Amino acid sequence: MYSLAVGLDGKIYSGSSDRTIRVWRGDDGAHLNTLVGHTSAVGAVAIGLDGAVYSASYDNTIRVWSGEDGTHMRTLVGHTDAVWCLAVGLDGKIYSGGSDLTIRVWRCDDGSPVQTLNGHTGYLRALAVGPNGNVHSGSVDGTIRVWSGDDGTHLHTLDVHSNTIGSLVVGMNGSLYSGHRSGKVFVW
């Protein structure tokens, strides 16, 4: 299993190397459904504010699924290499990143591309959107970049890690937590 997400309804979604997203009932762990369609491992799963399920794959795509019944709704195509990470903003946008060194911004309502953000020199492993709408991206280049959620402007770079940034979380108070391969967690 490569990724987990919890839906607004309590369902748990797990992305896996077997190219599927499995859906589990949160209260008792019963298996409810298996979402099939990717042609490679599923590296990230995220839930939209409307309950839609987003899955990113090493097949270079993001698939959008109905959170109600698991129906495949659309496929987002634009990355030129594996997609490793996803984040959903409160602004109705989804952000994806991966091995092509880009962050792609998409509209949640129809899947249309909004823009592409460039700047990392290593593939993207983590994305997080803060309560202020700013987007945080972590890379194997050891940096965290902060982008404006409004227009995609690069705001600043945090460059103190000597290793891959593997995870990012933004707390409700705006604090940024980053983890990397050494096992340390930094608080910003």
Residue 182: which region, alpha, beta or left (left: phi > 0; alpha: psi -120 to 50)?
Answer: alpha
- Give residue-wise pLDDT tens across range 8-35: 899 999 999 999 999 999 999 999 999 9
Q: Is residue 53 domain-resident?
A: no
pTM above 0.85, yes or no: yes
Among 187, 188, 138, CA closest to 163:
138
What's 148's domain CATH number?
Answer: 2.130.10.10
Q: What percent of the chain has pLDDT over 90?
A: 86
pLDDT at 159: 82
In the chain, how many domains are there? Answer: 1
pLDDT at 108: 94
Residue ranges making up the domain that contains 173: 78-187
Question: What tokens does 27 get?
Answer: 């209260």
Cα gap 141→133, rounded to integer Å: 24
Question: What tokens does 7 get?
Answer: 């839906």
Q: Is residue 105 domain-resident?
A: yes
Alpha-carbon torsion angle 53, 10, 69, 78, nearest 10: 0
Cα gap 122→49, rounded to integer Å: 30
Cα gap 42→85, rounded to integer Å: 10
Q: Is residue 160 domain-resident?
A: yes
Cα 106 to Cα 88, 99, 118, 165, distances in angstroms:
10, 18, 15, 23
